[in-house]
């Protein structure tokens, strides 16, 4: 039976979103292409830890991968906006596949530590930015539509579905098949899924260089917009998303260390999957309800909840308790992710959105990289479970930044009316 909630009159549910013409042509290959990213970091951690017997070194190698991705992701987004997604994706996918295979071989055949760090750089730099590209395609189809918030929530749910499946698949492959199986599978899925997604040219945003050619329509010709990084709100969101990255990275390393200490390494993917499932469930709810408060206010509340729930992770002494806390942490992450990506629609010009989305994705990767390094060192050098303090520290710092700079996240005055909607108290049925 349908449930009546307060919503905008034109705010349909997920069913109508998925009926958007052409949506499935990029959603299905997009899902196949973004699943490998959820496998990458945990696969590196498990392989390098197996070959070196050090969580600190495993965390450092995966951190180099994450930092490299964070630095190069915005460049990938800029080029995708300028030259088109396909022109960027094809060479990036091929380079990433070769880099992952190289890193896997070096780790398995006991190459010097410096060689692992060198190979980690192109591995991270060439991670295909599928999620931001999918979000940019939604923006092209739904620009100005109340469905954009629903689309942002749907993408958050999709991201978290990959983070439910990815760690489970990677952990199972690394612990039951072969320590290198996770990375090799990641490389194969990236190659196939990435090329299939790149082939769907009809739904990609029009490249700004093509739109500026003689004969382009008036609405597309004026594309000389500044970089997304020049928008103050985007910079604030990037800092906030670093905090979310510390949760992902800190949990991956600390869970791996904890489950090994109790003799159940296979539980890593299970507990992390529960955490991601909480994110997925909360993301679905966020997309089904039209909130009355402004997005930048909701973002602060979401981060407050995240910091509070993350504060108990270090004290958990059983897998069940840890999974329960992980579920709550995951449910607290979703509002921040959904609201942050929704704000991009209000803050950034359409011609710079892929860049903006990749900036946020890169910020998450940067936080993840810092977290896996610090958590790995804490697990090696401090007490058991010390790595769980990293998510708490990262989210608390991000919360302080948001509280201080939240006014920079408010949309321009001429967009506030559209952002709030009109007559949003009309009840509708949610699918």
354 in a domain, yes or no?
Answer: yes
For 353, the domain range is 23-206+227-412
| DSSP states along 48-79 | HHHHH--HHHHHHHHHHHHHHHHHHHHHHHHH
Residues 142, 338: Cα–Cα separation, whole Å:
16
The Cα–Cα gap between 34 and 81 comes to: 19
Domain total of the chain: 1
* pLDDT, position 223: 43
In this predicted structure, what is the pLDDT of residue 165? 79
Residue 2 lies in a domain: no
If phi > 0 it is left, if psi is from -120 to 50 it is alpha, else beta; for residue 263 that is: left
85 found inside a domain:
yes
Q: Would residue 214 count as lying in a domain?
A: no
Query: What residue ranges of the chain have pLDDT lower than 70?
Result: 1-12, 143-144, 164, 209-226, 287-291, 411-431
Residue 219's pLDDT is 40
Q: What is the pLDDT of residue 287?
A: 67
**Residue 316 covered by a domain:** yes
In a domain, 11, yes or no: no
- Are 301 and 168 in contact by the 8 Å Cβ rule? The answer is no
Torsion of CA 375, 376, 381, 386, to 10 degrees: 30
pLDDT for the residue numbered 413: 56
CA proximity to 106, closest of 128, 89, 122, 129: 122
Count of beta carbons in the 10 Å neighbourhood of residue 358: 30
Per-residue pLDDT tens over the stretch 329-356: 888 888 888 788 878 777 877 777 777 8
pLDDT of residue 215: 47
Of residues 367, 362, 428, the one with CA closest to residue 394: 367
**CATH number where 135 lies:** 1.20.1250.20
| pLDDT attached to residue 48 | 92
Residue 326 lies in a domain: yes
Q: Look at residue 411 in the predicted model and tell me its pLDDT.
A: 66
Within a domain: residue 189?
A: yes
Instruction: Provide the pairing of β-strand 426-430 with 3-7.
Output: antiparallel
Per the CB < 8 A criterion, the answer to whether 58 and 49 are in contact is yes
Give the pLDDT of residue 185.
94
Q: What is the pLDDT of residue 430?
A: 34
């Amino acid at each position: 039976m349908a449930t009546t909630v307060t919503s905008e009159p034109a705010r349909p549910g997920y069913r109508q979103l998925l009926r958007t013409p052409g949506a499935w042509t990029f959603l299905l290959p997009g899902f196949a292409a973004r699943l490998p990213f959820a496998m990458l970091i945990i696969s590196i951690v498990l392989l390098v830890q197996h070959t070196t017997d050090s969580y600190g070194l495993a965390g450092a190698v995966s951190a180099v991968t994450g930092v490299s991705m964070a630095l190069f992701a915005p460049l990938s987004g800029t080029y995708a906006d300028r030259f088109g997604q396909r022109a960027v994706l094809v060479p990036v996918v091929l380079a990433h596949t070769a880099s992952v295979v190289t890193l896997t071989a070096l780790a398995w055949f006991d190459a010097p530590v410096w060689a692992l760090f060198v190979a980690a750089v192109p591995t991270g730099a060439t991670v295909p930015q599928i999620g931001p590209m999918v979000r940019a395609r939604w923006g092209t189809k739904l620009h100005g539509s109340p469905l954009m918030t629903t689309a942002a929530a749907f993408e958050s749910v999709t991201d978290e579905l990959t983070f439910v499946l990815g760690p489970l698949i990677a952990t199972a492959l690394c612990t039951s098949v072969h320590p290198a199986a996770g990375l090799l599978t990641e490389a194969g899925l990236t190659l196939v899924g990435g090329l299939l997604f790149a082939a769907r040219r009809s739904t990609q945003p029009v490249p700004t260089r093509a739109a500026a050619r003689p004969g382009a329509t008036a609405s597309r010709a004026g594309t000389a917009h500044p970089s997304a990084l020049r928008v103050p709100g985007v910079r604030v969101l990037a800092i906030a998303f670093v905090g979310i990255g510390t949760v992902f990275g800190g949990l991956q390393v600390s869970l791996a260390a904890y489950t090994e200490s109790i003799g159940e390494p296979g539980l890593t993917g299970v507990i992390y999957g529960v955490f991601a499932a909480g994110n997925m469930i909360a993301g679905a709810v966020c997309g089904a309800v039209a909130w009355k408060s402004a997005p930048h206010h909701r973002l602060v509340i979401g981060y407050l909840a995240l910091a509070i729930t993350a504060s108990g992770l270090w004290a958990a002494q059983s897998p069940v308790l840890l999974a329960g806390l992980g579920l709550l942490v995951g449910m607290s992450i979703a509002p921040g992710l959904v609201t942050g990506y929704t704000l991009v629609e209000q803050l950034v010009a359409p011609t710079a959105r892929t860049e903006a989305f990749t900036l946020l994705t890169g910020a998450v990767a940067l936080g993840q990289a810092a977290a896996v390094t610090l958590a790995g060192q804490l697990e090696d050098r401090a007490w058991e479970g010390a790595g769980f303090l990293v998510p708490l520290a990262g989210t608390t710092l991000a919360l302080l930044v948001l509280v201080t700079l939240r006014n920079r996240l408010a949309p321009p005055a001429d967009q506030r009316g559209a952002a709030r909607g009109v007559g949003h108290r009309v009840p509708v049925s949610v699918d």
